[in-house]
Copies of this chain bind each other. A is one copy, B any other.
């Protein structure tokens, strides 16, 4: 069975986010003066072939810890749902 996983990788609180800071500094010049707390992370989508959703989730979490994210400075959230067939 195929499952579609979405992973959001964010910086841990306290970790500098230069990309977010740069965007936040640029926004007022474009007229957006009401924006704060800009944080830019990664969004990863992938398809896992697994017997059930729990197994798929466990595998994706292991992938996050080993290659998709850096657990020292990043947090991740995993969402898994069954893949819709075309």
Contact = CB atoms under 8 A, between A and B. Distances in A.
Interface of A: 8-10, 20, 23-24, 26-27, 30, 32, 34-50, 59, 63, 66-68
A39 B35 contact: no
B34 A67 contact: no
Contact of A63 (B32, B41, B50): B32
A58 to B, nearest CB: 12
A5 to B, nearest CB: 9
Copy number of this protein in the oligomer?
Answer: 2
Given A24-B46, A27-B63, A39-B46, 14 more contacts: A10-B45, A20-B44, A26-B67, A27-B67, A30-B66, A34-B48, A35-B46, A35-B63, A37-B46, A38-B44, A39-B44, A40-B43, A40-B44, A41-B45
